[in-house]
Amino acid sequence: MKRILFDENIPRLLRRELPEFEIRTVQQEGWTGLSNGALLREAQTKFEVLVTVDKRLQHQQNIATFRIAIVVISAQSTRLVHMRPLIPQLKQAIGQARPGTVVSVAERS
């Protein structure tokens, strides 16, 4: 079972939609407020995938140097109602995610 970390900006209720994964939040880990670099350094020791809506993360950090995959969700907002339609894509992205890579999940137009 993949261990997933939800960034601060991901609605916690989204976890209910992903029962096949072990999911913790940044808040649960006590990492609220960490810079992106510090968060990735901490997260790579306990998790396989970080799920976030922070599109800048991949441009601010050299993701290839970390032992964690990043899944970036692009939705209308961070409200659960806007993220729920992306769940099939999110599950697929998490399943295919590899350390040091970034996968984007976006609304289809």
- Residue pair 99/9 in contact (Cβ under 8 Å)? The answer is no
The number of distinct structural domains making up the chain is 1
Judge whether residue 108 has pLDDT over 80.
no
Q: What does the pLDDT look like over 19-69, one tens digit per residue?
A: 999 999 999 999 999 999 999 999 999 999 999 999 998 889 999 999 999
Mean pLDDT to the nearest integer, 77-106: 96
pLDDT at residue 100, as a whole number: 97
Judge whether residue 109 has pLDDT over 80.
no
pLDDT at residue 63, as a whole number: 95
pLDDT at residue 21, as a whole number: 97
Strands 69-74 and 22-25: unpaired
> DSSP labels for 39-94?
HHHHHTTT-SEEEE--TTHHHHS-GGGSSSEEEEEE-S-SSHHHHGGGHHHHHHHH
Range of the domain at 52: 3-106
Judge whether residue 10 has pLDDT over 70.
yes
